[in-house]
Amino acid sequence: TLCRIAKKEGVSSLALLKNIKSGRTVILKNNSRFLKSPCAVGRGVSTKINANIGTSTDKFNIKNELKKIDICIKYGADTIMDLSVGGNIKKMRAEVLGYSPIPVGTVPVYELAVSAQKRGNLLNFDYIDMLEVLESQAKEGVDFFTIHAGVTKKSISALKKSKRVLNIVSRGGGILASWVKKHKKENPFFEYFDKILDIAYKYDVVLSLGDGMRPGSILDANDSAQFTELKILGELALRARRRNVQVMIEGPGHV
């Protein structure tokens, strides 16, 4: 895999390996399934295009979502994210994983919230539910997770002082900020980060640390909430590297 990716990127295998070992480059490929076109993200390799697909609460058509994958790949997408929140999302994900020749990512808190909503409230989940969803998705073959582990009591406190025009614009960030407020507990993705690392290491899933405090307006850019979260994400990235877990950090924004 390493040699194949190095050849595709036009770099030496040694240079690529060096950047992977230092944590500056990651390989998106879950070790539990065959992937035709794994890819590298980070220093010394080409910029990658990540395309979002997925069902909504009012539209659930798996065939249409698979067609989207074909279109995404035709126009140059390197990775796919299944952001499904409607219908049978487990079945949807299984179809995507079986169909996509390129790496597939998810935002696990979406499945947590959808499952909790069926029990009466989208915030009715706990850390055990979280770990079960992560383990299940990793076992299925998901190549990378976006987790909003930086939306903590500390960054939420900074947000309150920021007086933003658009508050939180991240869906995952909004769910977890609301969860922290409702349960008066720390974000489980932050509090149980070491257990998440265990799962990521076991399946070689890349952790994409989501920017839940990203600005939705230029007037909110570079405020204390954004920088507080980025510092937390930097610390978490170092913890991941020490555990030999591949990690990348989103943002600022979704470009």
Q: Give the Cα separation of 230 and 251 in Å (integer).
A: 9
By DSSP bridging, strand 206-209 and strand 25-28 are unpaired
- pLDDT at position 92: 96
Q: Give the Cα separation of 114 and 107 in Å (integer).
A: 12
Give me 212's structure tokens: 């839940």
**Is there a contact between 109 and 137 (Cβ–Cβ < 8 Å)?**
no
Q: Give the Cα separation of 221 and 140 in Å (integer).
A: 37
Question: What backbone phi and psi angles, to 5 degrees, belong to 222?
Answer: 60, 35
Say what the pTM is.
Answer: 0.95
- How buried is 224 (Cβ within 10 angstroms: 0-12 exposed, 13-18 middle, 19+ buried)? middle
- pLDDT at position 32: 93
**Is there a contact between 47 and 36 (Cβ–Cβ < 8 Å)?**
no
- pLDDT at position 252: 61
pLDDT, averaged per 10 consecutive residues of the chain (255 residues), comes to: 95 96 96 94 95 94 97 97 96 97 98 96 98 98 98 97 94 97 98 98 97 93 96 98 96 60
- pLDDT at position 56: 94
Q: Give the Cα separation of 249 and 233 in Å (integer).
A: 7
- pLDDT at position 253: 58
